[in-house]
Amino acid sequence: MTEQPVRPTTSRDVARTAGVSQATVSLVLGGKWRGRVSERTAGLVRDAARELGYRPNLAARNLRLGRTRTALLVVPALTNEFFARVYTGAAGVAAEHGFGVVLYPSPEGIGPARDPFASARAALDGVIASSMATDALDALRGDGADLPLVMLDSDPAAPGAAARVNLDVADGMRQVTEHLLGLGHRRLVHLASAVGSWTFDVRAGAVAEAVRRVPDAVVRTVSAPLEVEAGRAAGERALTGPGPRPTALVCDGDILAAGACKAVRRLGLRVPEDVSVTGFDDLALATAVEPELTTVRLPAEAVGGRGMSALLAVLDGRTPEAGDLPVSLVVRGSTAPPAAVPGLYGAPART
């Protein structure tokens, strides 16, 4: 007896099982059902597709829609944990909508990013860029800028983006600076990133603003590349420079903070007894050092997820969700009241 070949499941089979039209199946499985199909009906279609093992022909659908269902995520570095988490968030939302995300590094985020394809405009539906300068992406988007661009952690005043998703980095740096001021610190050094970008400019402004509100507080800036050894060297310069020694180092990132902690120890000092150190990002590194870092936690996965959602909204002609994502201060063992001002702001005397 000749075995008959198994006929592939079609959208018509799904429609028949769910008791709906093929058009409804197409809307639901294409992610365009909201506002057109009830939640109950959408559930019936998804259940029927799952029961029948139906997989839509994405190639045919993409050809009809003129879509590749692929987004490019451009980041300054692949080795930074923050950007890995941004990718995780973006890829998770993309997968829910049948999209793929290609990750592409453009070092420093300020020079022009090369087109990794023969033509990005032919290979992609859109670009998401994290902590990049908008004009660094011109080669990817073409002269007509016809690829939708979503910028993450970037200057909201810069032109060229279809949508932006920002963290409230100013509030984060205000929180960490006010935490140090509240402990009684009055001589601060801002260990700043040497990379010129919007996010670091905002952090510098927030530190200066918080310090200005306290009449006897002062802050000076020492710049360094975002590397542990560069942070160590900058920390040593900050702690051995002319004038009274600072009692706190406010760092633009956990990596710089780790270097600053090394600088304190190399000078025979202690964290936090002699010098308090703060970070920014709350990377895994923040709890790997001893004492653990007081830092600002950034919801990196949420940034990537909202960035992908914003791109999908732009492609569908919808308005992306607005508003900055909140950040939070995490207080750990690297900060304490300065020994030089016992009792200030309720701090106990130090021995």
Do 98 and 129 share a domain, yes or no? Answer: yes
Total-model pTM: 0.74
Do 37 and 159 share a domain, yes or no? Answer: no
Q: What is the distance between the alpha carbons of residues 163 and 257, in angstroms, rounded to a whole number?
A: 32
The number of helices, as runs of H, and strands, as runs of E, in the chain is 12, 11
Q: What is the CATH number of the domain that holds 39?
A: 1.10.260.40
The reply to whether 101 falls in a domain is yes
Do 174 and 291 share a domain, yes or no? Answer: yes
Do 122 and 209 share a domain, yes or no? Answer: no
- Residue 125: the pLDDT is 85
Do 124 and 192 share a domain, yes or no? Answer: no
Q: What is the CATH number of the domain that holds 253?
A: 3.40.50.2300
- Tell me if the bond preceding 291 is cis, omega within 30° of 0: yes
Do 33 and 179 share a domain, yes or no? Answer: no
Do 225 and 317 share a domain, yes or no? Answer: no
Mean pLDDT by 10 residues, the chain (351 residues): 56 87 82 80 88 64 58 85 93 89 70 50 78 63 67 86 94 98 97 89 96 95 94 96 93 97 96 97 94 97 96 90 94 91 39 37
Do 200 and 284 share a domain, yes or no? Answer: yes
- Residue 329: the pLDDT is 98
- Residue 212: the pLDDT is 96
Residue for token pair 């988007």 = 141
Q: What is the distance between the alpha carbons of residues 279 and 296, in angstroms, rounded to a whole number?
A: 7
Do 289 and 240 share a domain, yes or no? Answer: yes
- What are the φ/ψ torsions at residue 294 (nearest 5 degrees)? -75, 130
Do 287 and 305 share a domain, yes or no? Answer: no
**Number of domains the chain contains:** 3
- Residue 68: the pLDDT is 73
Do 209 and 258 share a domain, yes or no? Answer: yes
- Residue 30: the pLDDT is 72
Go through the chain and tell me how many residues it has: 351
The reply to whether 2 falls in a domain is no
Q: What is the distance between the alpha carbons of residues 336 and 283, in angstroms, rounded to a whole number?
A: 21
- Residue 57: the pLDDT is 54
The reply to whether 152 falls in a domain is yes
Domain span at residue 36?
A: 11-56
The reply to whether 62 falls in a domain is no
- Residue 263: the pLDDT is 97
Determine what percent of the chain falls in helix, strand and coil, rounding each to the nearest 5: 40, 15, 40
- Residue 141: the pLDDT is 54
Tokens of 11: 């959208």
The reply to whether 318 falls in a domain is yes
Do 123 and 173 share a domain, yes or no? Answer: no
